[in-house]
Chains A and B, each alone.
Chain A
Amino acid sequence: MQALLSFDQAPPIAAPFRFFLTAPVFALLAGLLMLASGPQLFASRWTPAALALTHLITVGFMLQVMLGALLQILPVVAGANIAHPLRVATWVHALLVPGTLLLAAGLLASDPLTLRLAAMVLALGVTLFLVAAGHALCGVPSGNPTILGLKLALLGLGVSSGLGVILALALDGSSELPVLQLTGVHLAWGLVGWSTILLAAVALVVVPMFQLTPAYPQWFARRFFWSLLVVLAGWSIASLGGWHWPATLLANGMLALLAAFAALTLHLQRQSKRARFDATQHYWRLAMVSALTACALSLVSVLLPETAAGRSLPLLWGVLVLHGSLISVISGMLYKIVPFLVWLHLQNAGGGRILAPNMQQVIDRRQIDRQFHAHLAAFALLLAAAVQPEWFTYPAATGVLLTSGWLLRNLLAATAFYRQHRQRIASLARATPVQRPG
């Protein structure tokens, strides 16, 4: 209850920004890894380079932004204030960065010792975040679907990370664990139990509110999160138990739920009252169309496992889910969160007497549009590379470097804008004494 009563201004800007600014650097590293590995990377989803690439994106890019954004979102959406947000951010970030680098290096070199070290450092960072967020959410009632979604997403992060640690320790080959099945379950909890549930919880708020669409129907919002989690848990047990038919049935159920969410979101976005779509809305649309396509591909691989056993299908699926869907939503959200936070903190610095420049001045709109186009080009090239690696790996790597570099450039421009105006406002505030009435 205490959390509910004390909801206050946002945490210091340095808390989320360190995550936002680091994330594109990992995406750049992913591009460099593609350049260094060449077409060999796309030989299968199991090559050391493909595994390292996946984790540079999921842990290096996605997890960074998602944790940074949660620091900001939890107090607003749930009234759950994380105690000492700057200290938590500093420690979690300081553990995630070396942990991700060690993980990528360990996967690339297939080195058990490095992997073990990576698992320990990352587990520590994620646990620290989960404890801080869990403590803040403790006692906040889950009556609201978004708050329930946020809580279940954190559970998903815990399960996925826990399985990741087990896998990292098991990869030295000495273990008798069913590594293949465990990898599937780890991936499903990371992409569905954590990422999709978090995305959907945020979507329930941001799609209607920022895109001025009708709300998600109550029946959907109330049932979606528990349904998805129960089906995911059931599928995980069936998959690990080797029960083929129940696993297939539950996998189809999971796909139906995910497709329903993507289709419903697109349907709502079609009813948006906004006069013009900006890059954020385009990013959301792209993400939902990619997610639907990925669901269709998954359906093919569940129903026709022989066809899906080929090399390209899993790689296409990975590109659709990671680049097309999750990176798209995250980039689109960054373009709202970052300029708004810059405005909010400048406005607070001015104490209501000196007005901050509006948020559209923080990052030049043309630069955002150009970065979106670079993202689209990289997407097309990555899809092509999944099918025809010999021709397209290097162009796709260049595309990834370009779009990630551009994102980093735009976020750095926002940071420079903040610093410059913060100084201006501070000196103006010194020169303008507070006027007292009377």
Chain B
Amino acid sequence: MQTITAYLSADHRACDELLAVVEHALADGRWEPAQAAFERFRDGMLHHFSAEESVLFPLFEQSTGIHRGPTQVMRAEHLQMRQLLAAAAAALAARDADDYSGNAETLLIMMQQHNVKEENVLYPMCDQHLAAQLPPLLAALQQEITADRELAP
């Protein structure tokens, strides 16, 4: 059966790919496709955050009783990434390639070190603690991630 670790790690990789698409469009000086690709990337990131914050983290906190542990750190890092997403979006809108690349590089490292913590530590803990509720939980996560609605940045 699929695990939380496998499902959400695959979504991390999907977001990475979307970021790479923006980078390629910009390297060729194609601003409009870059902007469209960035929208898809931001959308993917925000839905991933939302799935974790509204479905996974509350369930983890409820089942372990740990409210001020890893989930708190992850929420704080989501906030930092939201700010970097906004800064990168502003740079793209202003067509400032240097500013975009600086913010995107910072975001890439921020999100990757965040992903490592989740994939190596938090998700395996979730798989362990939430084993009994896995099928409905995965369905709920999937619904959040693939939901066709705009999320506030």
Q: Which residues does A use to contact B, with CB under 8 Å?
A: 4-9, 76-79, 143-144, 146-147, 205, 209-210, 212, 273-276, 336, 340, 343-344, 347, 352, 355, 358-361
Contacts and interface: CB of A to CB of B under 8 A. Distances in A.
B143 interface: no
Nearest to B16: A212
Interface stretch (B46-54, B98-106, B134-142, B144-152): B98-106
Contacts of B84: 358
A352 B80 contact: yes
A340 B106 contact: yes
Contact of A146 (B24, B101, B120): B120
Contacts of A275: 20, 23-24, 26-27
A131 B125 CA distance: 26
Interface in B67-112: 69-70, 73, 79-80, 83-84, 87, 98-99, 101-103, 105-106, 108-110, 112
Interface string B23-61: 110110000000000000000000000000000000000
Interface string B4-30: 000000000000110110011011000
Nearest to A206: B112
Given A5-B70, A7-B73, A361 B80 contact: no
Given A6-B69, A212-B16, A273-B17, 8 more contacts: A79-B117, A79-B121, A210-B108, A275-B24, A340-B113, A359-B102, A360-B102, A361-B102
Contact of A359 (B20, B99, B105): B105
B35 to A, nearest CB: 16
B131 interface: no
B116 A7 contact: no
A76 B102 contact: no
Nearest to A140: B121
B3 interface: no
Contacts of A276: 23, 27
A124 B83 CA distance: 44
B17 A147 contact: no
Contacts of B66: 5
A256 B66 CA distance: 47
A110 to B, nearest CB: 46
Nearest to A273: B20
Given A7-B121, A9-B73, A212 B103 contact: no
13 contacts: A4-B125, A79-B121, A209-B16, A212-B17, A212-B19, A273-B16, A273-B17, A343-B106, A347-B80, A358-B106, A359-B105, A360-B101, A360-B102
A428 B108 CA distance: 27
Contacts of A359: 102, 105-106, 109
A336 B116 CA distance: 16
Nearest to B91: A358
A78 B117 CA distance: 7
B87 A358 contact: yes
Given A276-B27, A359-B109, A4 B16 contact: no
A274 B20 contact: yes
A76 B116 CA distance: 7
Given A6-B69, A275-B23, A347-B80, A358 B105 contact: yes
Given A5-B66, A347-B80, A358 B23 contact: no
A204 to B, nearest CB: 10
Given A77-B116, A352-B83, A210 B109 contact: yes
Contacts of A146: 120
Contact of A355 (B17, B26, B83, B113): B83
A232 B22 CA distance: 44
Nearest to A276: B27
Shortest beta-carbon contacts, A-B, top 6: A360-B102, A358-B102, A275-B27, A273-B20, A79-B121, A209-B112
Contacts of B80: 347, 352
A212 B101 CA distance: 15
Contacts of A212: 16-17, 19-20
Given A5-B69, A8-B73, A77 B105 contact: no
A48 B125 CA distance: 53
B13 to A, nearest CB: 9
